[in-house]
Amino acid sequence: QARRQGLSQVIGYEAGMEAAADKRYTLSHDLYHALRGDEIHIALQPQVDLASGRVVGAEALARWTKRDGTSIPPSEFIPMAEANGLIVPLGRRIIELACIALARLGSAGFGNIPVAVNVSALQLARDGFLNDLRATVELHGLPASLLEIEVTESIAMDERTGTSNVLEQLRDAGFPLAIDDFGTGYSSLSYLRSLPATTLKIDRSFVHEIGNTPERLAIADMIIRLGQRFDMRLVAEGVETPAQREWLIARGCHQAQGYFFGRPQPLSDLLTTLRGWQANP
Ligand code: C2E
Ligand code: MG
Ligand code: MG
Ligand code: MG
């Protein structure tokens, strides 16, 4: 009996794996077509100056809404696109959409608002990446300084991938560089110092614990002091409460992003907020 059960468990497990593989295959196939159609877009999350509450930038986040109206979260399709290589054309599309948004911001009179895009290791590792990037901003009549490149701490710190070379080239070409999800990797502090990054983004797991766990709070505090010492722009991610905002202001964090200030949103909503400030400073 026990043996039978064991067997059926094994078979059940394999059937489950097959179903999962099947689903992945279908999703990959769908994403390929989504890219050729118009199912991929971006949402812009405002980045605000903590002291004044003003919007000073935005992060472009990939969104996939299927024609039937259902949405696939980035936590599903980004890792999949990284695994099957579609991240390269997907990333190119996101950068193009970010440049279109920047151009529209410019013509609406907000040409001083930069937009950040997330870039994966595979994109950075491709030979033509920097040239593509340059060509895209040029095509849209934009200075490189308006398109910020976000790479996660683990990518930026991986000395083996040779990304530091690309990061330096990006900096030399005038693209601002942000280290995303900072605090979750295993960086050596001296290596951080040598990176050409201008911005540190404090991972939201540390911001969440403000008011809860003392050790995590100590980490957020340490990151802020580190950024200040290295003269970097500090952005706290995932700010959801007034208490978190107060704490960050008291510690001297410069900027923040989070549901408390604004969800990832269409450009038209971001423009409404910006115009509101303009009319009513
Ligand atoms: P990320 O770059 O760290 O982006 C921040 C994530 O936190 C976003 O999730 C955003 O919607 C979410 N978030 C913002 N404020 C809050 C808050 O107050 N509370 C909570 N709980 N969450 C908040 P999203 O859009 O689901 O993206 C998840 C991740 O997927 C991103 O993390 C990024 O690593 C990746 N991603 C998104 N778009 C792209 C892309 O175009 N290219 C690449 N390579 N990765 C992307
Ligand atoms: Mg990011
Ligand atoms: Mg992040
Ligand atoms: Mg993240």
DSSP secondary structure string for all residues of 60-111: EEEEEE-TTS-EE-HHHHHHHHHHHSTHHHHHHHHHHHHHHHHHHHHHTT-T
Q: Which residues surround ligand 2, an ion (CB under 5 A)?
A: 118, 150, 180
Query: Are the C-beta atoms of 177 and 154 separated by less than 8 Å?
Result: no
Spatial CA neighbour of 218 closest among 230, 229, 206 = 206
Q: State the greatest distance between any 2 C-alpha atoms of the chain, in Å, as a whole number.
A: 76
Distance 202 CA to ligand 3 centre (A): 8
The single residue listed with the structure tokens 């689903």 is 23
Q: Which residues surround ligand 4, an ion (CB under 5 A)?
A: 181
pTM: 0.91
Query: Are the C-beta atoms of 156 and 195 separated by less than 8 Å?
Result: yes
Tokens of 83: 């695994």
209 CB neighbour count, 10 Å cutoff? 17
Q: Establish whether residue 163 lines the binding site of ligand 1, counting it when its CB lies within 6 angstroms of any ligand atom.
A: no
Helix (H, G, I), strand (E, B) or coil at 130: helix
Distance 201 CA to ligand 3 centre (A): 7
Ligand 1 mutation target, pool 45, 48, 61, most atoms within 8 A of CB: 61
Q: What is the DSSP letter of 203?
A: -
Q: Establish whether residue 62 lines the binding site of ligand 1, counting it when its CB lies within 6 angstroms of any ligand atom.
A: yes
Tens of pLDDT along the chain (281 residues)? 545 555 555 555 566 767 777 777 788 888 888 888 889 999 999 999 999 999 999 999 999 999 999 999 999 999 999 999 999 999 999 999 999 999 999 999 999 999 999 999 999 999 899 999 999 999 999 999 999 999 998 888 776 666 778 999 999 999 999 999 998 877 777 778 888 999 999 999 988 877 666 677 788 899 999 999 999 999 999 999 999 999 999 999 999 999 999 999 999 999 999 999 888 87
Give CA 216 to chain center in angstroms: 22
First-to-last CA distance in the chain? 75
Distance 224 CA to ligand 1 centre (A): 21
- Cα–Cα distance measured from residue 155 to residue 180, given in angstroms and rounded to the nearest whole number: 9
Query: Are the C-beta atoms of 89 and 122 separated by less than 8 Å?
Result: no
The residues that bridge with 201 in the sheet, in sequence order, are 235
Distance 213 CA to ligand 3 centre (A): 20
